[in-house]
Amino acid sequence: MPLAQVNIARMKDSIDSPVMKGFVDALDEINAIADASPGFIWRLQGEEENATAIRVFEDDYLIINMSVWQDRDSLFNFVYKSDHLNVYLRKKEWFHAMSQMHMALWYVSEGHYPSPEEGKQKLEHLRMYGESLEAFTFKSKY
């Protein structure tokens, strides 16, 4: 069963600021790595071919990323075992530490591409109820 993921991050400045330049400059490369990764199915995109302009929250500095993968291992390998890791390790340069859960995983049916609102709901569910089959993290066994 395919696995969906959502993660959010609060930018340290506006997306077009010098502070965010390194992140913005890496987006096309990171998205290309994701698109070519084994197990990749789909990712949320706006007109810029990334999701940075999509607003789900009232905070304009809060950005969302969503994708669907064939399985947990495919997503894990992209996040932690591909060149994505080089950018991930620099996140403190561009984003504030999040005080609440900022990432959730859940299973979706074949062909379903979750909406940003669905991702927001999964995050809220995880924050309110903890890990379950409804929403979980890499730490769980679901």
* CATH numbers and ranges of domains, the chain: 3-129 (3.30.70.100)
Helix, strand, coil fractions of the chain, as percent rounded to 5: 35, 20, 40
Q: Tens digit of pLDDT for each residue in 11-58?
A: 999 999 999 999 999 999 999 999 999 999 999 999 888 899 999 999
Contact 98, 63 (CB under 8 A): no
Strand blocks (E) in 44-142: 62-69, 95-96, 103-107
DSSP assigned state of 98: P
Task: Read off the pLDDT of each residue in 101-109 and give the average, rounded to a whole number.
Answer: 97
- How far is 76 from 11, CA to CA, in rounded Å? 24
Instruction: Give the chain's end-to-end CA distance (angstroms, integer).
Output: 12
Residue 68 contacts by C-beta under 8 Å, 6 or more apart in sequence? 2, 3, 4, 5, 41, 42, 43, 108, 112, 113, 114
- How far is 136 from 34, CA to CA, in rounded Å? 21
Q: What is the pLDDT of residue 48?
A: 85
Q: How far is CA 66 from CA 17, 18, 48, 84, 86, in A?
A: 23, 25, 15, 15, 19
- How far is 93 from 96, CA to CA, in rounded Å? 8
Question: Coil, strand or helix: which one is 132?
Answer: strand
Q: Is the pLDDT of residue 85 over 90?
A: yes
Q: Is the pLDDT of residue 131 over 90?
A: yes
